[in-house]
Structure 1
Amino acid sequence: MFIFQWLNDEVLKMNWLSNLIEKLVTGVFGLDIHSRLGGSVHFYLYDVIKIFILLSVLIFAISYIQSFFPPERTREILGRFNGITANILGALLGTVTPFCSCSSIPLFIGFTSAGLPIGVTFSFLISSPLVDLASVLLLASIFNWRIALAYVVVGLVLAVIGGTIISKAKLEKYVEPFVFSNKLVDLPEESLTTADRLAFAKQQVLDIIKKVWLYILIGVGIGAAIHNWIPASVISAVLGQDKWYSVPLATIVGVPMYADIFGTLPIAEALVLKGVGIGTALAFMMAVTALSLPSMILLKNVVKTKLLVIFAGIVTVGILIIGFTFNAFGYLLIT
């Protein structure tokens, strides 16, 4: 138990880094970390460095594992299953693909064109930006393991239910015809050496960091401002846990934004520290990652309006239910 606690505090939460940044802020910058400016600088530097370290390590490890499962093999494995089992596997596959919703859509096209049921591909499309392994560990580093694991469970349940509903509704006719006609040619799987896999993992880290670095900097900046400059009374008056409309409002606010979950985590952290319900913060995160306008615009190019509306409706209802549930019972997860 002691070893697990030490790993959680020093490796995941990086308390050593927080102490190091505190010495930097006070000793070099001459700022009091309990002041607004000093607290903001400490929050910003600590969160930015911690997120980039964790993200780089986790994406490298996940990508190395992914190198053993190219798209051809993944399609072959998923094609062996049907029904809810296939939806569950599609959702689980999404957890090991560290992509934003826009990056997931090309894979969605590939899976659909390969003949996989659209319900399975939609389960993948929901879970991929929402519940990847890197975000789970970052959630644990910011909140705790109970919240992180509960988030994984509800995210996967939402992905499986959403994909199952779409599958049962027989909505294939609302997918654009070119998706089905764009058959991919299966090529023999290339034998990769360990050096090849390490190079692939390194490149994935660089590619993903290039995509998300700006969102992380902006997200942490917003989080630092919320944490140190906006009074708790103001935030509570708008998004307080006692406000029934806080979850729908957070969901609506999240939709026009486009950011990776790594950029929204610091904002959620600051909101919770200001007294906002954990369900409201999670609803905001999920709306940003799963319902962002850019991803909806891209998805509109491959599905017709009716399917897009059904998809968005299912995810929105799911997010609202999750938000209200976490607000009602989240206290059980917070130590």
Structure 2
Amino acid sequence: MTITADHAATHATAAPTAPAASLLSARPHPAGHERVEVVRGARSGLVMMVAVHSTRLGPALGGCRLWHYDTVDDAVADALRLSAGMTAKNALAGLAHGGGKAVIMAPDEPLDADRREAAFLDLGDLVASFDGSYVTAEDVATGSADMAVVARQTSAVVGLPEADGGHGDPGEYTARGVHSALLAVLPRIRFASPEGLRVTIVGFGQVGSRLARMLVEAGAVVSATDVNPARRAAVEELGATWVSPADAHRLDTDVFVPAGVGGMLSGTVIDELRCLAVVGPANNQLAEADGGDRLAARGILYAPDYVVNAGGVIHLGSPGSSREEVLAQIDALGARLDEVLALAEAEALTPSRAADLLVARRLAA
């Protein structure tokens, strides 16, 4: 593992500079990861990192999230976890990509436009240093406009604005894939359609809000929440019911949808869930390794997140495919989830373990 600091050019159009002194030299090598870089951007002064978990199937593909962490250790841990999840997601989606992830540590104060631009120029330099082995994209709190800034420093970026010839926001494609997966789950919880289905969505961002609209239009009874209380108006305007973020997981519901940041399904939350199934787009939903076992013990059907939320990465990772071909791949995520659940039943495994087994088989092929 290479961990460096102060890696960036001194102006927007300069070539990337070589990495400087180590920022986290005492950290142990993360087992299973091919390369990790942690740097402080020269323009922005923000700590950022890229973790490449695997290039076994092709260049690592995974988005960049801008998030506040209490410590650099916490940010690195998130990058490592997320990049490993991307390996699994891309493998089960059938993409010729491995898994990677970028994280920028957000400061306590909001970024103004100039510092935000500086941060993504710094990220562009960091991504360029991977020489094509990592391709970045948007993720939590980042967007296509940010990727356009990254593209000034490297071509290893997808999800640029459509006006710039890019793929645009992948949110609608992720939501479409979640919807396909949810439909695949319905027969297993004795529903013929979404009509009358009670769904609780935690996280009302680009994906959660789109999914909510699709479900409301199909006749589902939707409750939703978000850590940002300003989104309450959007929830109620859609015809959904706003619930408290702290109490959402305790609501009587049929399908619980984690659609925010990862790690929501802690042991405590799992014990308090009152649902038949968990199907959501959030990455790394299980806070502990035994989360899948705990859900199964409670009789709650869990749809592994990296199967459910692959719609966006299919959209971004299929540059040579037509829109119709991409949509067909995304709509097939329900069939892919069926394959996972059938294997789980046949082999007496939890869905999480069955999905991991299918990933291992693809990586070994």
TM-score, structure 2 normalization = 0.27
Name the structure with the higher helix share.
Answer: 1
Larger RCO (CA within 8 A; separation ≥ 6):
1
TM-score, structure 1 normalization = 0.29
Name the structure with the higher strand share.
Answer: 2
